[in-house]
Amino acid sequence: MRFLVRLSRLIDALTERGGRATRWLILLAVLISAGNAAMRYAFNLSSNAWLEVQWYLFAAVFLLCAGYALKHHQHVRVDVIASRLSRRAQAWIEIFGTVFFLLPMAVLILALSWPVFVDSWRSGEVSSNANGLVLWPARLLVPAGFALLVLQGISELIKRAAFLLGLLPDPAEPHDGGPVEREFADAILKSRRDR
């Protein structure tokens, strides 16, 4: 199990670095969008290529940060029942969901999207829009994003199993600052106490 915990930490480090780097693409997309809008309104110049670059960047952030969101417990959840259960029961629910839903879905999409990327790469597929870009980089984002999600899913599975065995603290507890909402709520409570 120690090897698996080390593997989980390695995957978490990869996810963290990749997620932090990918977040900068949001700023790049905003700058390109603003520049494209300024050129269109100021000089009546525009290009479909710039619009497609924005779409590529948005797709990159969405797909490449899926594992990052999973690591930070920022993915969508329905905790109406689970939140009332013990931490151990919640860990078992996470394991069940990961094994029977997350991993099969992510592996299936990864497997199905890879041939689409390969076909696009081999054919040199280009967007049908005037001045459109080649499509293979966007097609590559799908299997890459789901591969990262599979890796992080495996890491989460290892952490939950280690928690149940008493080898790790509860992975659902925030150890790195926690969810943004919790930080915001804590800041509000602190400001009220300081008054």
Q: Is residue 188 part of a domain?
A: no
Q: Is residue 183 part of a domain?
A: no
Q: Is residue 184 part of a domain?
A: no
How confident is the model at residue 178, as a pLDDT? 52
How confident is the model at residue 175, as a pLDDT? 56
pLDDT in tens, 19-60: 999 989 999 999 999 998 899 889 988 788 888 999 999 999
How confident is the model at residue 17, as a pLDDT? 95
Tally of structural domains, the chain: 1
How confident is the model at residue 5, as a pLDDT? 92
* 8 A C-beta contact, residue 54 and residue 33: yes
Q: pLDDT > 90: what percent of the chain?
A: 62
**Segments forming the whole domain that contains residue 31:** 2-177
How confident is the model at residue 108, as a pLDDT? 98
* Rounded-to-integer distance, Cα 125 and Cα 138, Å: 11
| Mean pLDDT, rounded, for 81-94 | 88
Tokens 């008054």 map to which residue? 195
Does the CA dihedral 146-76-84-181 come out positive or negative? positive
Q: Is residue 193 part of a domain?
A: no
Q: Is residue 166 part of a domain?
A: yes
- Mean pLDDT of the residues in the chain: 88
Q: Is residue 123 part of a domain?
A: yes
Position 154 pLDDT exceeds 60: yes
Position 77 pLDDT exceeds 80: no
| Mean pLDDT, rounded, for 145-162 | 96
Token representation of residue 73: 């417990």
| Amino acid at the residue 2 | R
How confident is the model at residue 71, as a pLDDT? 94
Q: Is residue 48 part of a domain?
A: yes
| pLDDT tier at 80, thresholds 50, 70, 90 | confident
* 8 A C-beta contact, residue 171 and residue 159: yes
How confident is the model at residue 186, as a pLDDT? 66
pLDDT in tens, 95-119: 999 999 999 999 999 999 999 999 9
* Rounded-to-integer distance, Cα 36 and Cα 22, Å: 21
| pLDDT tier at 187, thresholds 50, 70, 90 | low
Q: Is residue 14 part of a domain?
A: yes
pLDDT higher at 40 or 176? 40
